[in-house]
Amino acid sequence: MELSAKYNPSQVEDKWYAYWLEKKFFHSEPDERQPYTIVIPPPNVTGILHMGHVLNNTLNDVLIRKARMDGKNACWVPGTDHASIATENKVVARLKTMGINKTDITRDEFLKYAWEWKEEHGGIILEQLRKLGASCDWDRTRFTMEPALSDAVIATFCYFYKKGMIYRGVRMVNWDPVALTAVSDDEVIHKDTQSHFYHLKYYISDGQGNATDQYLVIATTRPETIMADAAICVNPDDERHHWLRGKKVIIPLINKEIPVIEDDYVEMDFGTGCLKVTPAHDAHDYEIGMRHNLPILEIIDDHGKLNEKAQILVGEDRFVARKKIAKMLEESGNLVKIDDYTSPIGYSERTDAVIEPKLSAQWFLKMEDLAATALDSVESGKIKFIPDKYRNTYRHWMENAHDWCISRQLWWGQRIPAYYLPDGQIVVEETAEKALEAAQKINPAYTAADLRQDEDVLDTWFSSWLWPISVFDPERPGHPEHEPNKDLAYYYPTNDLVTGPDIIFFWVARMIMAGNEFMKDIPFGNVYFTGIVRDKIGRKMSKTLGNSPNPLDLIEKYGADAVRIGMLLCSSAGNDIFYDESQVEQGRNFCNKIWNSYRLVQGWKVDESLAQSEVNKVAVKWFENKLSQTVAAVEDHYSKFRISDALMSIYKIFWDDYCSWYLEAIKPAYGEAIDKATFDATNKFFEALLKMVHPIMPFITEELWQSMETREAGATIMFEKTPSAGQVDADYITGFEMAQEAINGIRGIRQQKNISPKEALELKIKGAFPAEFIPVVEKLANTSSVETVADFGEATGVSFMVRTVEMFVVLGGLVNVEEEIAKLEAELKYQQDFLASVRKKLSNESFVAHAPEKVVAIERKKEADSLSKIESYESQLKALRK
RNA sequence: GGGAGCAUAGCUCAGUUGGUUCAGAGCGUCUGCCUUACAAGCAGAGGGUCGGGGGUUCGACUCCCUCUGCUCCCACCA
């Protein structure tokens, strides 16, 4: 078969992926083998593939393919996440383009549109993952909102409710005025934001509600909330403000009288030491309000606009109102000054809207016990984090975990199974029928019509945290009495989780909680945290910056294997990835190198009658050893999740050792044949290399493995065993290295003296050069003769050292004696200095007394080697100066 | 404000309990080659006083202190 000079991935990838699918190679069923399980971090159902996914899923695929070749029953469960806020936003946006407002349609109608959207757009990302080569068990694809998994979520809610761990309460929550829902603390991002510090005069009341001449000054960043002030608060120890005790003050513009109170919360040296207390619109003020029984007046509505209770500026957006009220206060003489001020402001992770602290009734899950157990899972080492540093982050969060606000004011998601009865009681049951039964136990007269289900849905993470359990057996969460089914019993706990550190609390921690609660066991053994993919100048990839390439375009252009390499090359665990297309090019080049190395060997003619040459014998034996050595190194790297190091080891043995050294050493002269023994060994090596590369580059390796010889029907490299490391003869490798150094030395001289590689050179060796490797030198350095001598005699040439062996290339008139002398003198000087430093060390009694014998012996060896080199340089100099 | 981490070649990073001629790798750069597997290639070369300072030690890229510069996480000073 004639092969093109370049590897063409597009012809190869779809073919083999279809083959793998058709043969169900990715599918796993429980059997007697050891399981190796990964659950995919479910991407948003409406998401499209970005570089972060590429990184994550490449790593996952490398691990799963490696495990498969190690003989484990590898199962990678794919799926998607319903992502309630993100998806609902998209559906709302789409409805808008259709001229429909969410508020104008019913919940059921909305959900119909949402499911339509999901059917159209959902799962696109899973299709895209196939292009990357992801070997997911597609038969097991799950969706967090599919009926069985939704049931699991509902059951979980009921379980915790009945355990007394879920409660409903009015709390100050983080309100997203764009998404119109509460979000959890973790979904709020604090960003330093430029704003202003408004200093306002509040006049003291005369007791009849009239302002006196006296006033105090408060400092606030939110003047638009003054109408909701319930008090002015000062620190009880602040003597400056003692005169205010028992006084009342008048809120500007609306002339409302409020008391002055005292609370330790107020910092004396911040602002003016007087704090306006607005219990409805600030979390701390709410706490103060609770302590002092202050009335709560809400003047901002769900959309972030002032309502009629504000009395003024009704209907204005909070930020517009801020500017307008500042002007009004200025006109009324209440504005003292405005300072520039930068302070951390909370933004919604999803919509980037400024979070409005808002009182509302929400559902909460108690975290204390769950967090304590989950902390122990990691502290005890049962779960390992890679890199380890994230344990600190994890511990800190777990020790300070707040109760989890699990309700969301959305429609897309699992609806909270709480039913309100006319008498105000609440029943929580998995179904409406059961709820009715429960209600009738309270009052037999109740009918279904009397039950009003809670309008809210559950936080998406409240379903994601069950993922490692629910993908296998959705009946288990919330039902401890339900025996795990066969899948769950076999695949749980999963082995490794690959994810980003940004969701360590959202997801990782909570999966650990759910695992401990429902399985009494951890959900995974190792968590590998990837970095964030950034562009080459360190910016996060984002749509708005337009610096994120479309992975599918890259795959199209360079091939999936190249894209995978490109991601892995720069990805040590936990470090951010600085992506640059040149890395993908490097991956493509590597594919091409592999391809061409195959093309070379495949074109050779084999002559069975030919005896194996010495060079070939040496090369084969050396590469056997080198391969074993590398296999061991690669295994070690994998065991430590050092994937990019594993890749680099493989890359180097393929490119440098196999292509540049081994193949060059055994390559027959043009038109000549190769002996059978070497040819067979070469194919064996190549196959072993393909297997090593396969987890990283699945497509090209399958293509070449299939091309090497006629395989049985249904064969695949996917299930071939990972090469195992044999004994390594380190001395043999060292001997070959000396040959390499000799060859490099001669090539260097050729380069310097501008001598063509075609011109054979005469080489003399003085010292203990291992004779076995001389044929390699002869072939690769192109020597006409190699002679081991006692001294170099009268010949002129250039010498160099290979360790302690002197090499001498005869060059005749090409030598510039002055130059050589200068070079040798420099080397001699260096060596003398080196010897001096070694001797200084050795004459240090303290060193000889304290350092381990081994270290001292090494120093003595250095001394001896150095002496021998000096001697050699001196004799060469002497010869040259003659 | 609290906590964590990082700083090694032009770039991205290794350097595993302090000790081999240990200062490395890949990429990039420079030089010479279109040598019949591959110019997406081959062969060679240069490049860092391991962020600054101090300390411990026979010995420090490695351990301690400090300074500087960056990054991330957490956080209710209005």
| Nearest residue to B76 via alpha carbon and C1' | A284
C-beta neighbour count of A78 within 10 angstroms: 27
CA of A527 to C1' of B64 (A): 32
What is the C-alpha to C-alpha distance for residues A68 and A485, in angstroms, rounded to an integer?
23
Say which nucleotide is closest to residue A642, CA to C1' distance: B14
pLDDT of residue A194: 82
pLDDT of residue A544: 66
| Nearest residue to B41 via alpha carbon and C1' | A593
A797-802 and A274-277 strand pairing: unpaired
Query: Does residue A565 carry a pLDDT above 90?
Result: yes
Percent of chain A scoring above 70 in pLDDT: 99
Say which nucleotide is closest to residue A596, CA to C1' distance: B37
Residue range A297-341, pLDDT digits in tens = 999 999 999 999 999 999 999 999 999 999 999 999 999 999 888
Which of A16-30, A68-82, A415-429, A569-583 is the least confident region? Answer: A569-583
Residue range A342-375, pLDDT digits in tens = 888 888 888 888 999 988 899 999 999 999 999 9
CA of A671 to C1' of B73 (A): 65
Residue range A116-151, pLDDT digits in tens = 999 998 889 999 999 999 999 999 999 999 999 999
Q: Which residues pair with A211 in a beta bridge?
A: A205
Residue range A772-793, pLDDT digits in tens = 999 999 999 999 999 999 888 7
* Helices A560-569 & A551-558 angle (0-180, nearest 10): 110
| Nearest residue to B5 via alpha carbon and C1' | A389
Chain B nucleotides close to protein (CB under 7 A) are: 2-5, 11-14, 19-21, 25-28, 31-32, 35-45, 57-59, 72-78
Residue range A738-754, pLDDT digits in tens = 999 999 999 999 988 88
Say which nucleotide is closest to residue A844, CA to C1' distance: B58
Say which nucleotide is closest to residue A869, CA to C1' distance: B21
Q: Between residues A268 and A737, which one has the greater pLDDT?
A: A737
CA of A434 to C1' of B9 (A): 70
What is the C-alpha to C-alpha distance for residues A463 and A154, in angstroms, rounded to an integer?
9
CA of A644 to C1' of B63 (A): 29
H or E element in which residue A107 lies: helix A107-121
CA of A191 to C1' of B75 (A): 12
CA of A385 to C1' of B4 (A): 15
* Helices A390-399 & A368-379 angle (0-180, nearest 10): 160
Residue range A167-183, pLDDT digits in tens = 998 888 899 998 888 88
Spell out a b/e string for A186-219, using b for 16 or more CB atoms within 10 Å of the CB, else e. bbeeeeeeeebebbbbbbbbeeeeebeeebbebb
Residue range A447-467, pLDDT digits in tens = 999 999 999 999 999 999 999
Q: Which residues pair with A345 in a beta bridge?
A: A191
pLDDT of residue A2: 66
CA of A669 to C1' of B38 (A): 17
Query: Does residue A1 carry a pLDDT above 70?
Result: no
Determine the length of chain A.
Answer: 882
Say which nucleotide is closest to residue A743, CA to C1' distance: B43
The pair of three-digit structure tokens given for residue A839, joined into one six-digit string: 């001797």
Question: If DSSP codes are grouped into helix, strand and coil, which group holds residue A169?
Answer: strand
A566: nearest Cα among A9, A5, A151, A6: A9
Say which nucleotide is closest to residue A282, CA to C1' distance: B76
Identity of the residue numbered A624: E
Query: Does residue A537 carry a pLDDT above 90?
Result: no
Confidence of residue A271 (pLDDT cuts 50, 70, 90): confident
Say which nucleotide is closest to residue A573, CA to C1' distance: B13
Say which nucleotide is closest to residue A233, CA to C1' distance: B78
Does the CA dihedral A221-A405-A148-A504 come out positive or negative?
positive
A16: nearest Cα among A127, A160, A133: A133
| Nearest residue to B38 via alpha carbon and C1' | A596
Say which nucleotide is closest to residue A222, CA to C1' distance: B78
Q: Between residues A13 and A874, which one has the greater pLDDT?
A: A13
What is the C-alpha to C-alpha distance for residues A615 and A784, in angstroms, rounded to an integer?
15
What is the C-alpha to C-alpha distance for residues A251 and A257, in angstroms, rounded to an integer?
6
CA of A873 to C1' of B20 (A): 23
CA of A758 to C1' of B46 (A): 26
| Nearest residue to B58 via alpha carbon and C1' | A847
Residue range A41-54, pLDDT digits in tens = 999 998 889 898 99
Bond into A387 cis (ω within 30) = yes
CA of A664 to C1' of B35 (A): 12
pLDDT of residue A461: 95
Mean pLDDT of chain A: 91
* Helices A698-708 & A9-22 angle (0-180, nearest 10): 80
Percent of chain A scoring above 90 in pLDDT: 68
- Region A620-637 average pLDDT: 94
CA of A446 to C1' of B41 (A): 83
Identity of the residue numbered A119: E
Question: CB of A145 within 8 A of CB of A82?
Answer: yes
Predicted ipTM? 0.94
Which of A21-25, A120-124, A419-423, A717-721 is the least confident region? Answer: A120-124
What is the C-alpha to C-alpha distance for residues A61 and A55, in angstroms, rounded to an integer?
10
Burial class (CB in 10 A: 0-12, 13-18, 19+), A582: exposed
